[in-house]
Amino acid sequence: MPIRKSKPTSPGRRFQSHSDFSDVTRSNPEKSLLEPKSRKAGRNNNGRITTRHQGGGTKNQYRTIDFRRNKDGVPARVAHVEYDPNRNARIGLLHYVDGEK
């Protein structure tokens, strides 16, 4: 994961670094693995605002991830390396030989 450094135009930007997205595959995420992610925006179960100044932002979708990886002996190949807005790491889309993704 390459890192891009900022030019020192101010004291705060002198030591800043950003992620370079060159390692991410330039395609849309797999639609069958996307789920809607509901946002609370500072509301409780009655829908009333309980925490002020919350809300707005970009609409995100949750990427379903198989954390168990219990398909021993089934070969797979990495088809895509995708960006995930819900975590710091990139995620890989695996295509198994039996057709599962």
pLDDT, tens digit, 9 for 90 and up, residues 10-21: 998 998 888 777
Which class for 77: exposed (0-12), middle (13-18), buried (19 or more C-beta within 10 A)?
exposed
Q: Which helix (H) or strand (E) holds 52?
A: none
- Encoded tokens for 33: 């693995």
In percent, the amount of the chain with pLDDT more than 70 equals: 99
Spatial contact of 34 and 93, defined as CB atoms under 8 Å apart: no
- What are the pLDDT digits (tens) for 25-74? 777 777 888 888 887 888 888 989 898 898 887 788 888 888 877 878 88
pTM (predicted TM-score)? 0.60
For residue 34, what are the β-bridge partners?
A: 63
